[in-house]
Structure 1
Amino acid sequence: MDVLVFSTSVKERRQVSRVTTLLTKIPAIMQWNFDLEDCDNILRIEAEGVCPRRIETLLQKAGIQCQELEY
């Protein structure tokens, strides 16, 4: 299983709901969560074989800035 970490522009719970709708459409995502208290509004995803660019593109099309963080 891969762990992907992204910096996002998500700041509000309603934006989290929008992301929920998008991420639940990707069956390879096992689990995900936000840390909205972090200055980068971190999105952490546990998935099997999901390309980080796919997540970035999906969220960006929904008007949410998203960039993978290297760790």
Structure 2
Amino acid sequence: MIFVFKTNVDNISKVKKVTPKLNKLFPNSNWNFDLEDCDCILRFESDNNSMKEIIFLMKILGFECEAL
């Protein structure tokens, strides 16, 4: 499944903050941020439906995250 989220992760420093958590909690997934997009898109590819967990994790880390 591919999920697309609008976030406020707008620079590499913020990406580095979430990277270890995303990699640890979702080790078999592929993800990336599009920092050039006005919505700071997070694209997330996973074998299961982990949308709620991704949103929850991002909010715990202090970031906005909304499914598109």
Bigger helix fraction: 2
Question: Within 2, Cα distance between the matches of 1:29 and 1:45?
Answer: 11
- Separation (CA, whole Å) in 1 of partners of 2:49 and 2:17: 19
Please, which runs of 5 or more residues in structure 2 have no aligned partner? none
Aligned residues: 68
Gaps of at least 5 residues in structure 1 are none
Q: How far, CA to CA, are the matches of 1:49 and 1:9 in structure 2?
A: 24
Give the alignment's TM-score, normalised by structure 2. Answer: 0.90
% identical equivalent positions: 40
- Over aligned residue pairs, what C-alpha RMSD do you find? 1.3
Corresponding residue SS for 2:25: coil
The letter of the residue matching 1:22 is K
**Residue 39 of structure 1: CA displacement?**
0.5
Q: Which residue type is aligned with residue 23 of structure 1? A: L
Q: Deviations over 1:23-56 (max 9, x none)?
A: 1112454211111111100000110113211100
Q: Secondary structure at the match of 2:39?
A: coil
| Higher alpha-carbon deviation: 52-61 or 25-34 | 25-34
Residue in 2 that maps onto 1:32: 31
CA drift of 1:19 comes to: 1.3
* Aligned residue number for residue 12 of structure 1: 11
TM-score normalised per structure 1: 0.87
The corresponding residue for 2:55 is 56
